[in-house]
Structure 1
Amino acid sequence: MVSFSETYHEYTWIEETDFYHHYQNEKLPFLYSCNILKFKRNPSLEEFCLAEKKLMDFQKKMQQDFIHFYAAENEPFSKEIEEYLTKENYTIAAEELLVIDPKNFYFSHQNEEISVEIVGDNERLKEYLDFMYQLNLKNGVLYAHKKQDFYVDRFISPKIQQINAYLDGKVVGTANIILSSEYIEIDHFEVEPNFQNKGIGTQIQIFIMALAKDKKVLLVVDKETKASRMYYHQHYQYCGYQLSAFKRFKTATIINIPQNSSSIASTS
């Protein structure tokens, strides 16, 4: 069965101890999901506080205003740590890893007015960038601007393909697919909020399932959300979960609350 360790990550290893891995992305210091400390096992409260202080000192040195932890895969935080996290105003979230054989993908109808294409040239890339810029403005102009270089790097990467969905010539949905020898991973799955419930997310997934052929398709989604219920309805299978704890320790102009990137297409 696939595990979270097999999903795509855009960070590099900083440090390893007997109970955690520390990861960082110097090019993307503003992205919470790329700058994390991941526990290898459930720590004691004393160990957690030690890791917390070390991570906070590191983040402040790097001029980052947040700390972001992940529990060991398929393990809850202990009751003692959960109480501490609540007292210290952490946001606790849960993600699920789902997988599907493309031939098992279920949908009840198609919207043939929607066309889906790989972003394969500069014109399509500009359309993709413009769409993502508008979506990211909810997190501030600076954040939206910084994410543009991130998307261009993904366009260049041989491991990643970007997808645009069109309705009447307008981009109304996007996704990234990450290619490996065994899997295709769906990431940054977005549908224009004003075009929800029009089958856009379904058409994007139909397109991806055709590309996958004999490879399994996987994604990470926020647990017990409208999006996760949709994926189960489409016959995705549960592979595991992981908990995270997040806190910002000073006010900043960039807001990027941790949220899995597959969740926005929840009403497609």
Structure 2
Amino acid sequence: MLTFNETKRDAEHYLENARLTHYHTPSQLIKYYANYYEYKVMPTVEQFKEDIAAQQNFHLERGQQHLLFLFPENMELSDQLLALSRDYGFTLNKMELYKADTSQLTASCNPRVQIVEVLERGKAFNDFLVVCRESEIEYGEEFVELKRTTHTRDLMDPSVIQLIAYMDGEPAGKLEAILNKQTVELDDFYVRKVFQGRGIGSQLQHFVWERAGQRSVILIADGDDTARDMYQKQGYRKISERYELLKTE
């Protein structure tokens, strides 16, 4: 059974006990999913209060302005935990893990679209960064620069696929995928707004599906994201979910 444990974790292990794991990544302080608590078991209300205080103090000492808690898979938060999270100003998110049914995967073919795998620095990588910037700028320039660093790092990682899609020669979309022994995870998937609805996303995915071979193709979708409906139509099915609480200053 595939779980969230099979998905990408770009975070450094800092501390672990019987209840939770604390991830802290000094080189990526502003990235939420590099600095957080992940629970092994559901906390009590009192434990969660203590964890909020501990993470808040830890982050404040390092100039960080967020709190993030990931809860055990396929477990609901109690009414008491939900009430406490609202009192503290957290936003509740449900993340869903999908697996592709490769026997049903389909993709349109637009002859105006070209998919290029980025293998080295040069025009394709620069175009890839242009599309990345459009998808990342809502989080600020500092985040864009951090992601530029990690994209450059990943360029040298054979387990990471970076794809750029062109439409009529213009950079139109991008996708990153992580190759593991049993899975291929779709990650950082984006089509520029002006090019949406033209089959670019499905052609990017089809490139990865062909590369996957016998490996399972998986992805994480936000439970409130309309893109999840597209994934379901393409042949993905939900296999797990988890709740997360995020607070930003």
**In the alignment, what sits opposite 2:34?**
34
**In the alignment, what sits opposite 2:212?**
212
| Partner Cα distance (2:231, 2:67) in 1 | 30
| Partner Cα distance (2:58, 2:219) in 1 | 30
Deviation at 1:137, TM superposition (A): 2.4
Identity over aligned pairs, percent:
24
**In the alignment, what sits opposite 1:192?**
192
Asked whether 1:66 is paired with 2:66, we answer yes
TM-score, with structure 2 as normaliser: 0.95
* 8 Å contact kept, 2:191–2:201: yes
- Which letter does structure 1 place at the counterpart of 2:114? S
| Partner Cα distance (1:103, 1:209) in 2 | 11
**In the alignment, what sits opposite 1:78?**
78
**In the alignment, what sits opposite 1:247?**
247
Deviation at 1:75, TM superposition (A): 0.8
Gaps of 5+ in 1: 251-268
| Partner Cα distance (1:16, 1:122) in 2 | 38
Local SS of the residue matching 1:102 = coil
Query: Which of 151-160 and 136-145 deviates more?
Result: 136-145
TM-score, with structure 1 as normaliser: 0.89
Report Cα offsets for 1:18-60 as digits up to 9, x if no partner.
2111111221111111111011111100011111111111111
**In the alignment, what sits opposite 2:120?**
121
**In the alignment, what sits opposite 1:230?**
230
- Which letter does structure 1 place at the counterpart of 2:112? E
Local SS of the residue matching 1:122 = coil
* 8 Å contact kept, 1:101–1:215: no
Report Cα offsets for 1:222-252 as digits up to 9, x if no partner.
114311111111111211001000112x3xx
Aligned length: 248
Local SS of the residue matching 1:157 = coil
Local SS of the residue matching 1:103 = coil
| Partner Cα distance (1:112, 1:102) in 2 | 23
CA RMSD of aligned residues (A): 1.3
Report Cα offsets for 1:167-221 as digits up to 9, x if no partner.
0111111011101111111000011011111111011111111111221100000
**In the alignment, what sits opposite 1:183?**
183
| Partner Cα distance (2:166, 2:61) in 1 | 44
| Partner Cα distance (2:18, 2:244) in 1 | 19
**In the alignment, what sits opposite 1:55?**
55
| Partner Cα distance (1:67, 1:35) in 2 | 8
After TM superposition, where is structure 1 displaced by more than 3 Å over at least 4 residues in a row?
none
* 8 Å contact kept, 2:94–2:222: yes
Deviation at 1:103, TM superposition (A): 3.3
Query: Which of 176-185 and 11-20 deviates more?
Result: 11-20
Local SS of the residue matching 1:83 = helix
- Which letter does structure 2 place at the counterpart of 1:92? L
Query: Which of 19-28 and 128-137 deviates more?
Result: 128-137
**In the alignment, what sits opposite 2:133?**
133
Report Cα offsets for 1:103-131 as digits up to 9, x if no partner.
32134x32221111110121221221122
- Which letter does structure 1 place at the counterpart of 2:220? V
| Partner Cα distance (2:136, 2:228) in 1 | 22
| Partner Cα distance (2:136, 2:182) in 1 | 31
